[in-house]
Chain A
Amino acid sequence: MGILQIIVVIGILLLLVKPMGTYLFHVFSNEPNRTDKWFSRIEKGIYSLIGLKKRDRMSWKKYAMSFILTNIVLVAFSYIFLRLQRGLPLNPNGIGGMEQTLSFNTVISFMTNTNLQHYSGETGLSYFSQMAVITMMMFTSAASGFSVAVAFVRGITGQKSVGNFFEDFVKAHIRVFIPLALLVTLVLVGLQVPQTLKSTLEVATLEGQTGQIAIGPVASLESIKHLGTNGGGFFGANSAHPFENPSPLTNVIEMLSMWLLPASLPYMFGLFAKNKRQGWVIFTAMMTLFVLLLSLNFYAESKGNPVINAMGIDSSQGSMEGKEVRFGIPQSSLFTAVTTAATTGSVNNMHDTQTPLGGITPLALMMLNNVFGGKGVGLINMLMYAILGVFLCGLMVGRTPEFLGRKIEAREMKLIAIAILAHPLIILVPTAGAFLTDLGKGAITNPGFHGLSQVLYEYVSSAANNGSGFEGLADNTSFWNITTGIVMLLGRYISMIAMLAVAGSLLRKKPVPETIGTFRTDNHLFTGILIVTVLIIGALTFLPVIVLGPIAEYLTLG
């Protein structure tokens, strides 16, 4: 039953990829299409509200600038809301303003689609902040990332331009995120996820004590949290909390919500490239890596913790520390893999409590950061590896590498090298730095090799804009708020800007006609090359630190 339910979920995903990818292509190809009838009136209203008279094609620099400036303005408003939440409306539980470094960390965390949370939702945020800051940024950061991904795809597939940021941003909301979020919200409420503005409930428990139950507008946050691959929970326990994720059925809906859009982007890319096989090559490489790492986690968690297994109890179920009974091992394992692959970062079981080998899966998926990936980022990164793969093959046979009919030259490779090297750099340097300072070391709550994994996980999660945590880390201090804040910023914007620059640079090139000697990138051979490129670059960079953390813990656990 365990493996079957995993296969069923993957099966449903595969059935949905084509229709969703086609829909996304229709939305963003900017040709007149069927979706106009429903949405264009609302969009025209918004364009006139914001004073956007003409939706001109932008240069890549203008596009990047618009994207960044919009993010800065949203960050500024949100920071003010958090600091002043005590006096703002919808605060029935009387929650005070948020501290400076924590507010800094929180607004960056949500704007960069990371959703690392150094606060606990029940006690740290008013309902107004949950809605106007957290829920709002879950939409806008997802739409920002999605827009950049579409712009990048337009660039490398040789469309007329990278597009217009404002138009993409509005369309992503109106035609994708808001309708889907409303639908998923109502389905989740039907399946018992609360949606109310009442304050914390008072109950008289069965044993005669008074208890309190935190509640609030959960479902409307829960849906966009997953659709936008954001991941920040309403409650501290995130999707392990029974109000956020009451049943295995809601668990499946939440997994598909965060998985469907990233998984459909390769198909959309195939349509833009007028070569569906090219899209499937990317998809297959992603799915292969996903299944490999999912298997590792499922196997390790099913086997359980050897020390507890030796205590003489019935431990046949596996490692249940930090997991919920309703999910068991299969639904927890699959959720872990999906949430770190799609860089969502919501958790339905505590990653910190996973067995050492099981804990490698979320780490590795975030280190690779290209297996499906968050809103758009995964596709961008995988295409970056595809160009790198083409380049490496070109070096071996001594030809100028080409991708999708355009020559890959020094400028593109330099930009790609910056993006690829930035990721390990902003993970490993702060990790090492944290161990050199008492401020960093003081936060570790699990002694030994596991402590290294805790710190590493925090920065990997920040850099990959994932936001899940080995949550034992005592991370609400100025040191952690500021360092992870900076890592999140660099993790988000360096690669996005570099890739927009690659798109701009490729757009200026003349297409090279395909000849018999052209190296094909849409066949099985290239799928293999792509997987190997990802593994070699990923493994070489991160293997040493994986050995020091999880593998050392595994070996000492016996």
Chain B
Amino acid sequence: MANSIEAAPEQQSPSKGSYFFIIVRLSLVFIVLCGIIYPLASTAIAQVLMPSQANGSLLKNEDGVVVGSELIGQNFSDPALFHSRVSSIEYKAEASGSNNYGPSNVDMLQRTKDFITQWQVDNPDVPLSELPVALVTNSGSGLDPHITPDSAIVQIPRISKLTGIPASQLEELVSQHIEGRDLGVFGEKRVNVLKLNMDLMELSKS
């Protein structure tokens, strides 16, 4: 800034080159700040303060083996266990999603009909009118860890018959697993199928 008289108008309208250079540097600063520093700092803080949540809320069995995440649903085909909802990806959590069938889609309607027919064969003691729509339908993520409380209750007669555990005991087990609405207001009452089945297997052993 030796010659301030000449420098002044130049500052008012910087040359095209330096203007463009500002933009490139601005972009680089925010790539580093928002794209690298921010997520890495978040990761560091999260890992130090809340390691269990930050690593996927994993569930272990009594031997200390990780059996899954309490947030991610699993496929249960054993008729003596509680079943999860329909999932087009069979709860394979390396991906996520569903078929995105529209309400008039014939494949979706056929899948639903087939499911209901099979359900009636497997659960002859429960009237069809008690089968909840949530159990029959595909969740959005294909990984829904929950079923509605009545979706668990309608499975009790089948499980009781196969395991010999009295229905009243299973009803108690289910009611222990009903999670209320968040803060008493938000969302729906629900049952975590993986946690429920872990306790059911304990019960079957004893």
A residues with a Cβ closer than 8 A to B are 1, 4-5, 8, 46, 49-54, 56, 66, 69-70, 73-74, 77, 120, 122-123, 131-133, 135-136, 138-140, 166, 169-170, 173, 178, 181-182, 185-186, 189-198, 200-201, 203-207, 211-215, 217, 219-221, 224, 235-237, 240-243, 246-249, 251-252, 304-305, 307-308, 311-328, 331, 347-350, 352-356, 445-450, 453-454, 470-472, 553, 556-557
Contact = CB atoms under 8 A, between A and B. Distances in A.
Contacts of A122: 94-96
B97 interface: yes
B68 A211 contact: yes
A445 B42 CA distance: 39
B171 interface: no
A193 B29 CA distance: 28
Contacts of B26: 50, 52, 70, 166, 169-170
Contact of B144 (A133, A324, A446): A324
Nearest to A78: B31
A446 B101 contact: yes
A311 B137 contact: no
Given A211-B93, A236-B95, A242-B145, 8 more contacts: A51-B18, A73-B23, A122-B95, A213-B94, A237-B98, A311-B116, A356-B104, A472-B100
B194 interface: yes
B138 interface: yes
The residue among A189, A235, A445 with the most chain B CB atoms within 10 A of its own CB is A189
Task: Give the size category of B's interface with A.
Answer: 35 or more
The 5 closest A-B pairs by CB, nearest first: A248-B187, A136-B35, A472-B100, A240-B140, A328-B188
Contacts of B2: none
A241 B105 contact: no
Contacts of A185: 42, 46
A135 B39 contact: yes
Given A133-B35, A140-B34, A214-B94, A206 B197 contact: yes
Contacts of B71: 192, 242-243, 246
A321 B21 contact: no
B53 A317 contact: no
A347 B97 CA distance: 11
Interface string B89-126: 00111111111111111101100110010000000000
B6 interface: no
Interface string B125-169: 000111111101111111111111011000000000000000000
Interface of B: 11-12, 18, 20-31, 33-36, 38-43, 45-47, 49-50, 53-58, 65-69, 71-78, 81, 85, 91-106, 108-109, 112-113, 116, 128-134, 136-148, 150-151, 181-183, 185-188, 190, 194, 197-198, 201
B12 to A, nearest CB: 7
A192 B50 CA distance: 9
A350 B98 contact: yes
B46 A206 contact: no
Given A135-B39, A471-B100, A317 B140 contact: no
Contact of B188 (A326, A347, A353): A326
A206 B198 contact: yes
B76 to A, nearest CB: 6
Given A5-B186, A194-B55, A321-B137, A207 B74 contact: yes
B21 A313 contact: no
Given A122-B95, A182-B42, A317 B133 contact: yes
A324 B136 contact: no
B186 A252 contact: yes
A324 B140 contact: yes
B137 A196 contact: no
Nearest to B61: A206
A248 B181 CA distance: 8
A331 B190 CA distance: 14
A194 B141 CA distance: 16
Given A237-B140, A352-B102, A51 B22 contact: yes
A350 B140 contact: yes
A4 B185 contact: yes
A69 B137 CA distance: 48
Contacts of B56: 194, 196, 201, 213, 215, 243
Nearest to B183: A249
Contacts of B129: 312-314
A325 B102 contact: no
Contact of B185 (A8, A312, A472): A8
A193 B97 CA distance: 18
A349 B205 CA distance: 38
